[in-house]
């Protein structure tokens, strides 16, 4: 899940458990685990989280916007700019955040996946990953599968 660094930290600290998206890809992978990627200026994977639910909600009033902003730990202005022109949003309920002991820069992740799995890594918008990719990430950051 690619998010601004401040939101990545809130997610991994367990403070933010709802992420808002303007759209979702037509094909959603079955995997429920997604890696938490902090966008610029960090550009690194910081941890992982479980997706519990994805729900489409209507935005019909300022009250709707305010409620979503509160859930997403964002200001109403931030959310208004992000959702500009939309009459709905997708609320992604998150659970079980795990902060990795070491950030993993995206370029390092791409290189490792190419080396270990012989494939190119093209993350989907939610950074949902299959078990093979998740194992590469966990190994690279020094986290054992036994912790999960």
In order of 71, 102, 114, 118, 119, the CA distances from 32 in angstroms are 20, 22, 23, 23, 21
Q: Hunting for tokens 């966990």 — which residue is that? A: 138
Query: What predicted TM-score, i.e. pTM, was given to this entire model?
Result: 0.87
Is the pLDDT confidence value at 122 over 60? yes
Closest to 89 measured CA to CA, from 100, 81, 97, 99 = 81
pLDDT tens for each residue of 54-85: 899 999 999 999 999 999 999 999 999 999 99
Mean pLDDT, the chain, rounded, equals 88
pLDDT bracket for residue 126 (50, 70, 90)? low
Q: What is residue 31's predicted lDDT score, i.e. its pLDDT?
A: 59
pLDDT tens for each residue of 4-38: 999 999 999 999 999 999 987 655 555 578 899 99
Q: What is the mean pLDDT of residues 30-54?
A: 88
Rounded to the nearest 10 degrees, how much is the dihedral formed by the CA atoms of 33, 35, 39, 41? 160
Report the DSSP pairing between strands 18-21 and 33-38.
unpaired
Domain annotation for the chain: domains and CATH numbers: 2-140 (2.30.130.30)
pLDDT bracket for residue 105 (50, 70, 90)? very high
Q: What is residue 121's predicted lDDT score, i.e. its pLDDT?
A: 83
Q: What is residue 30's predicted lDDT score, i.e. its pLDDT?
A: 54
């Amino acid at each position: 899940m690619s998010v601004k660094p401040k939101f990545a930290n809130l997610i991994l600290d367990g403070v933010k458990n709802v992420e808002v998206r303007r759209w979702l890809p037509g094909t959603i992978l079955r995997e429920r685990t997604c890696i938490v990627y902090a966008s610029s200026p960090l550009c690194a994977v910081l941890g992982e989280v479980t997706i519990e639910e994805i729900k489409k909600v209507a935005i019909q009033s300022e009250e709707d916007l305010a409620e979503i902003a509160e859930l997403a730990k964002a200001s109403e202005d931030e959310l208004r700019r992000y959702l500009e022109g939309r009459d709905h949003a997708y609320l992604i309920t998150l659970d079980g955040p795990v902060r990795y002991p070491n950030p993993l820069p995206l370029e390092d992740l791409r290189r490792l996946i190419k080396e270990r799995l012989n494939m190119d890594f093209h993350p989907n918008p939610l950074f949902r990953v299959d078990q093979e990719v998740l194992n590469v990430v966990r190994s690279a950051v020094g986290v054992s599968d036994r912790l999960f």
